Amino acid sequence: MKIGVLALQGDFAEHISMLKKLGVETTEVRLPEHLKNLDGLIIPGGESTTIGKLAVAYNLLEPLKQFGKDHAIWGTCAGAIFLSKDVSRDQPLLGLMDIKVQRNAFGRQVDSFETDLEIDELMKATGTEHAYHAVFIRAPLIESVSGNAKVLSALEDGRIVAAQEGHLLATSFHPELTSDTRFHEYFISLAS
């Protein structure tokens, strides 16, 4: 089992240290050849415009789309934006997931927040019962899911913050900033 983390920009080091904590072999991905022999890929938080432009500049868009056809990919925050089909503005996207995303949906940094989420799928998969503490930073919102994409988690008011489409996973929040490893464990199970 080897999971890559897209290391163009953002908090890739935090994901890598989470994976190491779980005993998973990991590597930084900056160029297409770095995707070889990986079982899955995490696209970290960061600025989605920066990550998108660097992916275009180093010819990563097509290889990432191909990789996502038969491998697990998980995008957190900027990564979720990058995985989506539509963000209502012009920026490079992978378009792998049937989700529509709104960037900076909660406002500016002073509106960033932490909250607890009850995520049934996650609790079932990890055999745990406690809520998941989620950290949202200038977070995007998943406006809608379609096709084979399904809602994994929503806020109390129904706004979608996590979605899954087969082996593809998108979260508006940042599991890599907490000490709770359940989301990473869940993703590893999708990758194996």
Q: Which residues are catalytic?
A: 77, 174, 176
**Which one of 27, 74, 99, 103 is in contact with another protein (CB under 8 A)?**
103
Separation of alpha carbons 140 and 7, rounded Å: 20
Residues 36-95, interacting with another protein (CB under 8 A): 45-47, 49-50, 53-54, 57, 77-78, 89
Q: Is 179 in the site for another protein (CB under 8 A)?
A: no
Give the Cα separation of 12 and 9 in Å (integer): 7
What three-state secondary structure class fits 186?
helix
Query: Is 192 one of the binding residues for another protein (CB under 8 A)?
Result: no
CB of 64 to another protein, least distance (A): 15
By three-state DSSP, how is residue 24 classified? coil
For another protein, the binding residue among 5, 11, 83, 100 (CB under 8 A) is: 11
Rg, the chain, Cα only:
15
Q: In angstroms, rounded to a whole number, what is the distance separating the alpha carbons of residues 148 and 179?
A: 31
Using DSSP's 3-state secondary structure scheme, residue 158 falls into coil
Angle, CA 54 vertex, CA 151 and CA 110 arms, to 5°: 55
Among 3, 4, 5, 7, binds another protein (CB under 8 A): 7
Q: Is 129 in the site for another protein (CB under 8 A)?
A: no
Of the residues 8, 43, 83, 94, which one makes contact with another protein according to CB under 8 A:
8
Which window, 64-72, 94-102, 131-139, 157-165, contacts another protein (CB under 8 A)? 131-139
Strand partners of residue 29: 6
Shortest spacing between CB 8 and another protein, in angstroms? 5
State the nearest-atom distance from the C-beta of 167 to another protein, in Å. 25
Residues 6+ apart with CB under 8 A from 134: 114, 115, 116, 117, 161, 171, 173, 174, 175
User: Which residues are at the interface with another protein (CB under 8 A)?
Assistant: 7-14, 30, 45-47, 49-50, 53-54, 57, 77-78, 89, 103-104, 107-116, 131, 135, 137-138, 156, 174, 177
